Amino acid sequence: MPLKKIENKPITIPEVKEVLENLNRELNQFQKRTLEYVTAFSKLKSDKAKELCSKLTKDFGLDVKTAVQIVNCMPESVEELRVFFPRHRLIEPEKLQGILKLLDEYR
């Protein structure tokens, strides 16, 4: 029986891992491969990832998609963090440093 789509929203890799681990049925091949991937690349627990995404959107005004991508990658420098912002959007260095400081609190 296929899963029913309830809503469409971006979620972090740790959240995907939690969903797949909590399915009460046998995983199909695609789901098994996805679980292997997210297990290898999860950098936080699901609850911490959700909390961090929430702080990035509320405290720094990031959109959810950008916050999710930042949490998935957990950049460690300003240069790595700049990748997540379009070239036409100028981000203040203080804001980038603040985001990195927040990320460091969750590492």
Which residue range is the domain that position 69 belongs to? Answer: 1-107
**Confidence bin at 68 (pLDDT 50/70/90):** very high
CATH number at 4 reads 1.20.1250.40
**Confidence bin at 61 (pLDDT 50/70/90):** very high
17, 46 contact by CB (below 8 A): yes
Number of compact structural domains in the chain: 1
End-to-end CA distance of the chain: 38
- Residues 6 or more apart whose CB falls under 8 angstroms from that of 41 comprise 13, 72
pLDDT digits (tens, 9 = 90+) for 5-28: 888 999 999 999 999 999 988 999
Q: Is the pLDDT of residue 95 over 70?
A: yes
Query: Model pTM?
Result: 0.90
103, 59 contact by CB (below 8 A): no
pLDDT digits (tens, 9 = 90+) for 27-54: 999 999 999 999 999 999 999 999 999 9
Q: What is the pLDDT of residue 4?
A: 80
